[in-house]
């Protein structure tokens, strides 16, 4: 019996089972678009803005009013109101109504005019480790701008040109040039992870329940007594889901390109190659889970336990350098890490095949290893 014909026969049987449940089939096609849109919109800015804060202006001088006005010009924080006492600000902070209190102490202007060091105090909510450093950064910029403006006024008063005086005060400055992703858009960094996670969630989950579903329905025994080999069964079950996944890849890339303006069209063949390889690794992972599971419930449990660490450790949403050294080696066991890195290089740096061939090779290796492992596990389980 011709092997290709047998694989096609098993694939047609699997397609009939997929089409039998029309609602699930529609969900398979629609869910990738919905998830890509939701994840993309949720991570579109990546910036924390409008952090609720209050001002405690105990000085009430023109200088302190200038600083209060400067804080209100930054989008990162939102000044809810001015409060009269530090105790009132602490109470608001303790009840979680604000994230920061900016305190200008009494005698602030007098200290400046006397040539003494004046301090601006910040009360920050340490339970939110994202907002605290942002408020600190805004305060540093406000004070730096205030100090510069005051230095310029002082130089003019002494008859010194401000540009010459500032060179003495600040002889060194930093000039930055961002070569890739010049707008520093967070979405451009995380979109490869969004695409990869969306594809992996569906492919692993769908593939993981295929063999247990046959076993629960009693149709797996019919396949076992037929002259069809285990490899032909595995490949026949994989093909329909690969076709559906390729269709999902096309819709996801369209959403990424048209809605989120990720430059997909410029390197479309390379991106399609990466997506197809990653889909095959995810399908092979699902097949491996399917081969070692006795029931659909067990398969879903194993799939969830696999996807959760992938989400956290693959570097899809944050650099793997942020992961502790003793955990980081686990990240290299997940195909999503190589996929995200390669797609990020293609979309942000316009990298060619010569720059990502290692990631492509590793993804191809995952396909071969996982498929072989799935066939081997299926053999042992059946025996």
Residue 147 domain-assigned?
yes
pLDDT of 281 reads 93
Residue 176 domain-assigned?
no
pLDDT of 173 reads 67
Domain that holds residue 231: 3-44+187-382
Q: Are residue 272 and residue 293 in the same domain, yes or no?
A: yes
Domain boundary among 169, 197, 226: 169
Q: Are residue 33 and residue 116 in the same domain, yes or no?
A: no
pLDDT of 221 reads 62
Per-residue pLDDT tens for 231-287? 787 888 888 888 888 898 988 888 888 888 788 877 888 999 999 999 999 999 988
Confidence of residue 343 (pLDDT cuts 50, 70, 90): very high
Residue 350 domain-assigned?
yes
Confidence of residue 1 (pLDDT cuts 50, 70, 90): low
pLDDT of 19 reads 79
Q: Are residue 260 and residue 366 in the same domain, yes or no?
A: yes
Per-residue pLDDT tens for 55-80? 988 888 888 888 888 888 888 889 88
| Mean pLDDT estimate for the chain | 83
pLDDT of 155 reads 64
Q: Are residue 336 and residue 198 in the same domain, yes or no?
A: yes
Q: Are residue 265 and residue 339 in the same domain, yes or no?
A: yes
Q: Are residue 249 and residue 118 in the same domain, yes or no?
A: no
pLDDT of 46 reads 61
Q: Are residue 287 and residue 148 in the same domain, yes or no?
A: no
Q: Are residue 206 and residue 283 in the same domain, yes or no?
A: yes
Residue 275 domain-assigned?
yes
Q: Are residue 55 and residue 39 in the same domain, yes or no?
A: no
Query: Looking at residues 173-177, what average pLDDT do you find?
Result: 73
Residue 181 domain-assigned?
no
Q: Is the pLDDT of residue 380 over 60?
A: no
Query: Looking at residues 289-303, what average pLDDT do you find?
Result: 86
Angle in degrees, CA 260, 265, 267, rounded to 5: 115
Q: Are residue 126 and residue 206 in the same domain, yes or no?
A: no
Residue 215 domain-assigned?
yes
Q: Are residue 198 and residue 311 in the same domain, yes or no?
A: yes
**Higher pLDDT among residues 223 and 256, named by residue:** 256
Contacts of 167 (CB under 8 A, 6+ apart): none
pLDDT of 369 reads 92
Residue 180 domain-assigned?
no
Q: Are residue 67 and residue 83 in the same domain, yes or no?
A: yes
Q: Are 237 and 288 in contact (CB under 8 A)?
A: no
Domain containing residue 141: CATH number: 3.40.1710.10
Q: Is the pLDDT of residue 214 over 70?
A: yes
pLDDT of 170 reads 65
How many structural domains comprise the chain?
2
Domain boundary among 169, 199, 227: 169
Residue 178 domain-assigned?
no
Domain boundary among 135, 169, 203: 169
Per-residue pLDDT tens for 24-64? 777 788 888 888 888 888 777 667 788 899 998 888 888 88
pTM as predicted: 0.78
């Amino acid at each position: 019996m011709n092997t290709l014909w047998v694989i096609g026969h098993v694939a047609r049987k699997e397609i009939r089972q997929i089409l039998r449940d029309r609602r699930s089939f529609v969900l398979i096609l629609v869910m990738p678009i919905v998830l890509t849109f939701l994840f993309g919109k949720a991570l579109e800015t990546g910036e924390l803005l409008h952090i609720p804060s209050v001002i405690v202006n105990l000085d009430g001088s023109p200088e302190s009013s200038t600083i209060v006005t400067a804080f209100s010009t930054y989008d990162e924080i939102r000044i809810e109101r001015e409060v009269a006492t530090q105790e009132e600000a602490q109470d608001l902070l303790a009840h979680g109504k604000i994230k920061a209190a900016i305190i200008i102490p009494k005698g602030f202007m007098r200290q400046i005019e006397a040539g003494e060091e004046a301090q601006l105090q910040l009360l920050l909510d340490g339970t939110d480790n994202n907002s605290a450093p942002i408020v600190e950064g805004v305060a540093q910029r406000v004070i730096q701008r205030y100090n510069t403006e005051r230095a310029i006024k002082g130089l003019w008063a002494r008859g010194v040109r401000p540009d010459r005086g500032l060179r003495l005060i600040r002889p060194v400055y930093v000039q930055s040039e961002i070569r890739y992703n010049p707008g520093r858009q967070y979405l451009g960094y995380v979109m490869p992870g969004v695409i990869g996670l969306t594809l992996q969630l569906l492919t692993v989950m769908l593939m993981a329940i295929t063999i247990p579903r046959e076993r629960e329905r009693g149709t797996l025994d019919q396949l076992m007594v037929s002259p069809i080999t285990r490899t032909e069964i595995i490949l026949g079950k994989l093909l329909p889901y690969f076709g559906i996944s390729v269709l999902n890849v096309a819709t996801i890339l369209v959403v990424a390109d048209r809605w989120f303006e990720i430059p997909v069209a410029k390197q479309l063949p390379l991106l399609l190659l990466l997506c197809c390889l990653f889909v095959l690794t995810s399908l092979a992972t699902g097949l491996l889970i399917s081969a070692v599971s006795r029931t659909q419930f067990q398969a879903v449990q194993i799939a969830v336990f696999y996807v959760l660490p992938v989400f956290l450790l693959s570097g899809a949403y944050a650099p793997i350098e942020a992961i502790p050294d003793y955990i980081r080696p686990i990240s290299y066991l997940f195909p999503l890490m190589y996929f995200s890195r390669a797609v990020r290089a293609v979309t942000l740096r316009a990298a060619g095949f010569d720059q990502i061939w290692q990631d492509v090779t590793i993804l191809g290796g995952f396909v071969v290893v996982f498929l072989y492992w799935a066939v081997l596990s299926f053999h042992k389980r059946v025996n």
